[in-house]
Amino acid sequence: MSGHRRTAALVLASALALAAAACSSTGGKQEENGGAAANAGKANTPRVKIAMVTHEAPGDTFWSLVRKGAEAAAAKDNVQLVYTNDPQAAQQSTLVQNAVDQKVAGIAVTLSKPDALKGAVQNAVAAGIPVVALNAGQQQWKDVGAMEFFGQDESVAGEAAGRRLATEGAKKVLCVIHEQGSVALEARCAGVAKGLAGAGTVENVTVTGTDMPSVKQTLTAKLQQDRGIDRVIGLGAPFALTAVQAAKDTGSTAKVATFDTNRDLVNAIRSGDVQWAIDQQPYLQGYLAVDALWLYLNNGNTIGGGQTVLTGPAFVDKKNVDAIATYANNGTR
């Protein structure tokens, strides 16, 4: 691990320790739906409005985890959270500008397509509004003007996946990109190819992630046409689960792995339908983004020392899936 990664990891550990201490002050009361509420008693700092703007697409359960984390931090910090989303970069940029015009106290934003967001983020900074980035844009967040980033290094995560596939004997991998032009997803597939190295090949296929029947149709056709595909790696839990069904329908022997988890994906790992997943802890990303803005607004704190605050990657497989299954079933992992 490089020096700056160690620093970021230590800072993250400290932040988590502080969060855990805060959560314990009221006995860690649970939400009625069973999810972690982080109800540590509300901060007595002045109530402020913070906007979170993501590129969430309909049907992607990943974002409900990010939002739950953000809402838990907002409840603890006496923050009015305004959550908006749009998978179209131009519309997401407009949502950021709307937050600027509303004079919010802080903005947390995902940077799936950084070039399209840069102008709006810089407008926020010029207006004196602190901006943090999360989830997407790990290589670009400084360039657009954000002061912190919470997420995983997608290239590193992809390489780890590729190396694991190589040790498992993969020869031909289908990497499913569910959002065209997403820098994070493209980095994942590129990392898979790098990690696999000469052990096998990677073919990228781009699907329309907002149309799951179309995703299944595309994957079914690919698996029917090329029986040499022995692995499918999804870049999100719903797409991996769809790949499982496509493989079953076509009689393909291709095994499925994925990035990111949800309740159904955890159960699929338990059953053996999915081999493993890479977890970047989306709940934590949402929580830290809001909490970091609150810390900056109320105490001038910044987290990460100018480096990415890493929330992943970590492998989830049959060996350790039970350790997070309870949280996944509660809807927070």
Closest CA to 109 of 206, 101, 122, 257: 122
Whether 163 and 114 have beta carbons less than 8 Å apart is answered as no
Residues 186-208: tens digit of each pLDDT: 999 999 999 999 899 999 999 99
Tokens, residue 231: 């692995």
Question: At 316, is the secondary structure helix, strand, or coil?
Answer: strand
Residue 23: its pLDDT value, please?
36
Over residues 39-50, the pLDDT tens digits come to 456 889 999 999
Least confident of 145-154, 254-263, 285-294, 324-333: 324-333
Which amino acid type is present at position 111? L
Indicate the angle between helix axes 237-250 and 263-271, nearest 10 degrees.
40
Give the model confidence (pLDDT) of 211-250 as tens digits: 999 999 999 999 999 999 999 999 999 999 999 999 999 9
Q: Contact 149/112 with Cβ under 8 angstroms?
A: no
CB 69 within 8 A of CB 287: yes
> What pLDDT does residue 285 have?
98
pLDDT digits (tens, 9 = 90+) for 19-66: 433 333 333 333 334 444 444 568 899 999 999 999 998 878 899 999
Strand partners, 133: 109, 149
Domain covering 3-152+281-313: architecture = 3-Layer(aba) Sandwich (3.40)
Distance CA 209, CA 239 (A): 8
Sequence-distant (≥ 6) Cβ neighbours of residue 233 within 8 angstroms: 161, 165, 173, 174, 175, 176, 192, 240, 256, 257, 258, 259
Query: E strands of the chain, at which residues?
Result: 29-30, 36-39, 48-54, 79-85, 106-109, 131-134, 148-151, 172-177, 201-206, 231-234, 255-259, 274-279, 309-310, 314-316
305: alpha, beta or left? (left if phi > 0; alpha if psi -120 to 50): left
In the chain, list all ranges with CATH 3.40.50.2300: 3-152+281-313, 154-279
Domain 154-279 matching CATH 3.30.70.1560: the answer reads no
Task: At 40, give phi and psi (nearest 5°).
Answer: -100, 20
Q: How big is the chain by its Cα radius of gyration, in Å?
A: 20
